[in-house]
Amino acid sequence: MQRRAAGLLLPLVPIVAFVALWQMLTAHNVVAWLRFNRMPTPMSVVDSFASRISSGGYYDDLLASVQRILLGFGLAAVVGIALGILIGRSQTARMMLRPFIEILRPIPAIALVPLTILLFPTSEQGIVFITFFAAFFPVVVSTIHAMDSLPRVWEEAAKTMGASRVSLLMHVIVPGAMPGIFAGLSVAMGVAWICVVSAEMISGQFGIGYYTWQSYGLLDYAGVVVGMISIGALGLITAWAVERVGRRVNHWLPRAAR
């Protein structure tokens, strides 16, 4: 009971402290190194949020962003893990593909917006591609490093016991690399949210990023904060989902068992 109560109450401590500080600074119109006289108060944000959740457009924006994330992140996970395993197991693939990946990896995904406008017939396809591009590199690089960090004795022991190449891959190598792969998936989810929101702000017609930018253009600063909170909540939920799936997949780890 104490652990459960602590799990419920402790996360609220920094949130309550942050909101109390926010209320104090905005209520007194503090102007110092930062200017809080133009910031919306917590109550104005609550009022704006209440008005938004009563309209169907808000849920349409949330659904659009979630669909883009699931599609772009899902494609990045499938392609990134498969390519990372290939590069980790094949020296030829490593020599051929790793330099090309390292050339593309430093390019910010959001810098591809002008090209996606030219390449894709709709902005929806372009935003999904940007999300895929952003999430792909953390996944593939973490998979490669996870493959490289596997103890060689695991593979040698499995071969000694007569394991075939397919059995070795499916029952030793891939399960052993999964903790590192899911670490990359967790990072990729955060990066994907950053880029999908940025792409929606620049070229989207709907989505939570588009709503946030539109609120700023209309000088609805409480609406901007509502958009930011919504993005944070969606990011928290999707990160939690990735972590839960990772615990299920890596149930053999002592930490996951606890």
Q: What are 111-121's pLDDT values in tens digits? A: 888 888 889 88
Same domain, residue pair 120 and 235: yes
Three-class secondary structure of residue 35 per DSSP? strand
The whole-number pLDDT of residue 99 equals 93
37 contacts 29 by C-beta, under 8 angstroms: yes
Number of domains comprising the chain: 2
pLDDT of residue 256: 52
Q: Is the dihedral of CA 115, 231, 11, 246 positive or negative?
A: negative
Same domain, 9 and 87: no
Residue 221 maps to a domain? yes
How many contiguous H segments (helices) and E segments (strands) does the chain have? 13, 0
* CATH code: domain of residue 169: 1.10.3720.10
Pair (30, 48) in one structural domain: no
Convert the pLDDT of each residue in 203-232 to its tens digit.
778 889 999 999 988 889 999 999 999 999
Q: Same domain for 148 and 220? A: yes
Q: Which position has the higher pLDDT, 255 or 160?
A: 160
User: Do 176 and 85 have their domain in common?
Assistant: yes
Same domain assignment for residues 27 and 53: no
For residue 81, which of 161, 183, 10 has the smallest C-alpha distance? Answer: 183
Structural domain containing residue 196: 44-250
Burial group, residue 5, by CB count within 10 angstroms (0-12, 13-18, 19+): exposed
Q: Does residue 118 share a domain with residue 78?
A: yes
Tokens 């990896």 belong to residue: 105
Please state, in angstroms and rounded to a whole number, the distance separating the CA atoms of residues 28 and 22: 10
Tokens of 127: 């935003």
- Verify that 17 and 54 share a domain, yes or no: no
